[in-house]
A and B are shown apart, each in its own frame.
Chain A
């Protein structure tokens, strides 16, 4: 039966302004480019009205220490580390929230200021579990850094410190309230950016704890495990749950064959942790490092991304024909969990495709041991992911084959960094090495999966190729399929556009950050026609993933959240230099269909590469 794929074209999308979490408007929006002049430590500064004293100080090369401040996300002046003297003000003021004004006179380095800052940090330390040397954030901790910069040599006022059991029920995130410094960055990133509001301040005064309702364990609530709280935590209060020991154990076992896959974004973020500039591509060194760690096979998840695109593009086309829209991507486990918890009515709209990681894992389970004549149970599958939620995904029953999870262990980028350090591998001195031969071929489409809009763009490449008549053999009808869909890229929190492919008009939405994802779902609920939705739960996509390097140590003026853009650029750069940029052109993917799977959406493909759907979750 031929279904008319034509749909009425709606010329103008209504603006969804509230969704744009990442617009950098501030009040400069209203004041225009109005500038004010002020004086900081006797030096004149001219800066846009609406900026803060902290910003102004940066203009004259002064970094005022701060802990709770997170631009546009957490501007509450609570930690009191950034205190400065402002002429005419009785008490010291928090520079991070003090708006600049004409004629303001600010002093950032007086005895009064230094004494107060020191006292504040000393007080924080007096109620902080100071097991620094064994802390996951040792040498990468903003508190440690500030204490060092301020020259704290002793804690004069000792006293009762919190002794709250560490919360470990969450499969991805470990919460140690005794290290919490009450900066509230996690609370506000969870509330304002992700809009999940899982953790918030509970109790009052000294007993305040930043935790889920009733101080429950983070594993017992509707946390989607995106790990943005971990990224924003200046100390070691929120961290990923490590599985390094398990991986070392597998690597040390001569009987066991360990396969590792690396997500597309790892190659552009791993280098940061070893002092390389943000956005440096370290694909070859990464492979070399993994090999030196003892992994038997080092493979790129990007290949599975190509496979995902082919499956997903065909699933989309199928649903497009059947009118079963909108269609949602399913690569992001945090996004899936969000839908399961809060928008169960949309569960049928989720693609049944597993994520590239799980597809890769399933294929490994299915074919890998056969090819190498290994006992099935002796193959251990490890994934290096930019993500905390992937740890949870790997443990889900839907993602498994033959009663075993598709992937045994998920390491975050940070955990891989620690393993490389532990092994004493001088990362910067490593040679570039290629991935192992199996599944080595990857296309640019698979690579850009790591950035927001990437899955959409990759899918559109293959979809357009199909819809524009390529592959039909009727060459007279063929229009060349576009490669780049630049409109779906970039930092804008929510992108709604329609893509015109010949006679077809596809309305797509790309959202990153679950706050923006909620806007898309609300728009659909309100009757907006959207055909295809890509959501990545982390702002920026996987390059901003909850498992990515945190740069909190000395000499880092920015937080990890500021690096997404540069990291994404690196991925697009890799893509632009590839010869193959359509997923379906991947020769290994083609081989796989020819030899094993048959065709996209085949029965075996379903068994291996798809889930049977998702369920509503109450908790």
Chain B
């Protein structure tokens, strides 16, 4: 009954706001653990929707379940980075350990096993989530211990103690996260910003603190002057002796950066240093491979792979004694020389950060720090000094193209939406970053959420909209939390809502959560999902610019695109257009993952070569392995071999060689990766994520997958290769939306560049990389002596007389030298005690 009361509260809270069915379902699932059919009937009744539609929504999104779950949900990340780093083996180990298959619950009701698509913890690959806690860098051999600890915890009835598995752990759920987060500093004081002048004042009073974190070269002199003035006027804005910045992005949070912050505060407090040393949690530095990351300002010393145990030593040696701790410094591969400061670090110094400019520098949960970094000045400029047409002009001239994948000219999209004469329009931010292996949008939302809010407000002004929606994946709890905080702070500051900056312009933003459907990254599917429906795309035209959300003109851009906007407005179109190549202006964020030393997030000018990224910033391939391919553009992109390492990457050059920019995922593969298997992996992903609306994608991708699976199992024919090519081509031609139109790309590009690997699988029944299980060299057979029944049936079927033993008298044994691994004995054995080596 109590739960029903709660459910009623949830329903009445959301039911009058349009399209909130998904939110209601999410809350109901939190309440009940799953979505029982009768509860769905109740919800359908209350919100006035047909049950068939509600059930259709529930069964569309993979985060919803109508079956009760076990006490713990184990979710294995099967994103690309995790996949190439051994997630399949981990999954197998978990299946064995639980004796449960995918989407099954163990008989004792303790564990439910599921998989998840990229949670953006690529730096910690392979990642396993248990009840939302991310366990990073899990090895198959860790699995029994990991599960044992959960079992044990339950038996002891202890619910609070953390399992100390030696594996990096942290809570991932937003609510629990709040409990885990120590108060960074006192809640920021939010003052209403009613005019551009007031914005300027706030900037000045926080500037001193902000510039301490900047490289002196990056800060104009006048800012120093203003900061000095403000310091004189307002001693509260004092400078700290040191500011210790701790990464609080998903990656580092997973490796206990929260504990590091707490430990730092405790340590400083204990030594009475808390007044002069500030601990600030920031967004992602991008160097996820080496998390948790900690930077000490003003000397800009970069420490990595810090643990809570290192804290006393850091405080003692660095803060008190003023020495740098060599042990925690970055060592650049392969020679391993230490790099003291962030500026000397090869991972950082080739980067030019525009969209990521504030990540790792400001506290994302403090609007004042954003303002101090120049935040909301773009909005102020647009609202007070520019006409909407001038804003659009500027964006168009900057040459900014959509960072979501297709690369449409952003300014032109704005102009189309602005041109429609309608009083109600919407601005939507696509934060449904679904490409496995891409996590730049998550990072921006976690590290600099106000940049997105500011850009959306500018867009609202430019096109004539008053309402915005951010559609964000529910798999990104920290990003959702930061967005919520940012929206709340912006509203309190008057930077969202009515009469912004006293200009008479009004704009507000709401969050809508995704529920686990990759296709919702497609714009028309996203709009359906925002309005609470199944995320099925629809045909275009009409484009969302004409008829989008609830039939109204709607502007859609992704997070990274928006993150560039305030800077372009502030610094001008020419500044932005000066970066990049002729067709692709500005900078692009790439997420580097897979077989690369420095997994992480980088931002470089368009036109940077893959070689610079992989071997310079990325530090090359680990363990001295040879580079084989780099996959760009996620499931829609393609795999490029070494011969393309030197082409400057931008939208057009990638298109030309059969791949695409996509959202900027770069997954590096080495000689131990099988390209046929990689293509199969991507196809499995897209066909699983196909919405099922149009024929070519619903059935076609399934057929493609069946053919390629056949090949990886050694059952393919050369004709299958032609069929793959033909069918892939037809699916691209005939599909309704971008998902289907690009789904065959990984197959087509690997066929183009790695055809020999396909042929080896077919003609020689051999997987050159030794990945495809069915084609692995066959191990010899062995009899588990203890369990042998001494029946002797195996002896009779062995074609090479490799088995010896006396019926009913002795245990039987196989002579490995003679065994030809035909498997006849194993098939015959009535008690199944004969197995191939390598099997359990």
Cβ contact within 8 Å between B699 and A123: yes
Once bound together, how far apart are the Cα atoms of A83 and B699, in whole Å? 17
Q: How many residues of A contact B (CB 8 A)?
A: 47
From the candidates A115, A159, A200, A204, name the one contacting B691 in the complex (CB within 8 A).
A204
**A206 with B52: CB separation less than 8 A:** no
- Determine whether the beta carbon of B736 is less than 8 Å from that of A127: no
- B297 close to A (CB within 8 Å): no
Residues on B with C-beta less than 8 A from A91 are 732-735, 741
Flag whether B517 is at the interface (Cβ < 8 A): yes
Interface residues of A in 166-196 (CB under 8 A from B): 181-182, 191, 196
User: Could you tell me if A199 and B706 are in contact, using CB atoms closer than 8 angstroms?
Assistant: no
Q: 8 Å CB contacts to B: which residues of A70-115? A: 76-81, 83, 91-94, 97-99, 112, 115
Contacts of B51 in A (CB 8 A): 197, 213, 221
Say yes or no: is A203 at the interface (Cβ < 8 Å to chain B).
Answer: yes
- Which residues 530-568 in B have Cβ within 8 Å of A in the complex? 534, 536, 538-539, 541-542
Q: Do B539 and A77 touch (CB < 8 A)? A: yes
Q: Is B313 an interface residue (CB 8 A)?
A: no
A377 at the interface (CB under 8 A from B): no
In contact, A92 and B695 (Cβ under 8 angstroms): no
The answer for the CA separation of A5 and B326 in the assembled complex, in Å, is 102
User: At the interface, yes or no: A156 with Cβ under 8 Å from chain B?
Assistant: yes
Name the A residues within 8 Å of B687 (CB-CB): 205-206
Least CB distance from B2 to A in Å reads 26
Query: Is A207 among interface residues, defined by CB-CB distance under 8 A?
Result: yes
Chain A contacts with B in 117-150, Cβ cutoff 8 A: 119-120, 123-124, 126-127
- Checking B56, B694, B732 against A79 with a beta-carbon cut-off of 8 angstroms, the contacting residue is B694
Closest to B705 in A: A159
Q: How many A-B residue pairs lie within 8 Å, measured between CB atoms? A: 147
Residues of chain A lying within 8 A (CB to CB) of residue B62: 204
The docked-state distance in angstroms from the alpha carbon of A116 to that of B733 is 7
A83 touches B56 (CB 8 A): no
Residues of A contacting B706 in the complex (Cβ-Cβ under 8 angstroms): 159-160
| CB–CB B699/A94 < 8 A | no
Question: What is the bound-complex CA distance between A160 and B735, given in angstroms?
Answer: 20
Given A159-B706, A197-B50, answer yes or no on A205-B689 (Cβ-Cβ < 8 Å). yes
Task: Please tell me if the beta carbons of B734 and A80 are within 8 angstroms of each other in the complex.
Answer: yes
Tell me the complex Cα distance, A76–B691, Å.
Answer: 14
Instruction: Determine if B736 and A204 form an interchain contact, defined as CB atoms under 8 angstroms apart.
Output: no
**In the complex, A80 Cα to B52 Cα: how many Å?**
25
Residue of A nearest to B50 (CB): A197
Query: A127 and B696 in contact (CB under 8 A), knowing A119-B734, A213-B55?
Result: no
Residues of A within 8 A of B702 (CB): 127, 159-160, 206
Contact of B539 among A76, A198, A199, A204 (CB under 8 A): A76
Are A97 and B699 within 8 A (Cβ)?
no
Residues 716-774 of B contacting A (Cβ, < 8 Å):
723, 727, 730, 732-736, 741
Residue contact B56 to A201, C-beta cutoff 8 Å:
yes
Contact, CB under 8 Å: B736 / A182? no
B54 touches A205 (CB 8 A): no
Q: How far is the CA of A78 from the CA of B692 in the complex (A)?
A: 9
Question: Given A119-B727, A198-B52, A199-B52 in contact, is the A204-B690 Cβ separation under 8 Å?
Answer: yes
Does B693 make an interface contact (CB < 8 A)?
A: yes
Q: Given the known A-B contacts A201-B534, A205-B687, A206-B687, are A213 and B698 also in contact in the complex, defined by CB atoms under 8 Å?
A: no
**Is A77 touching B692 in the complex (CB atoms < 8 A)?**
no
| B699 (CB) vs chain A CBs: closest residue | A123
Query: Do A97 and B539 have beta carbons less than 8 Å apart?
Result: yes
**B698 partner, pick from A99, A198, A208, A221, beta carbons under 8 A:** A208
Alpha-carbon distance between A533 and B40 when the two chains are bound, in angstroms: 34
Residues of B within 8 A of A3 (CB): none
Q: B97 contacts which chain A residues (CB < 8 A)? A: none
CA distance A196 to B734 in the complex (A): 32
The reply to whether B727 and A157 form a contact with Cβ atoms under 8 Å apart is yes
A214 close to B55 (CB less than 8 A): yes
Contact with B along A550-589 (1 / 0, CB 8 A): 0000000000000000000000000000000000000000
Closest 5 CB pairs of A and B: A197-B50, A208-B692, A213-B55, A200-B52, A77-B539
Known: A119-B727, A120-B730, A204-B60. 15 other contacts (CB 8 A): A77-B694, A78-B694, A80-B696, A92-B733, A93-B539, A94-B539, A94-B736, A116-B734, A120-B696, A120-B734, A191-B50, A203-B59, A206-B690, A213-B51, A213-B56
Q: Residues of B at under 8 Å CB distance from A?
A: 37, 40, 50-56, 59-62, 66, 517, 534, 536, 538-539, 541-542, 687-696, 698-703, 706-707, 723, 727, 730, 732-736, 741
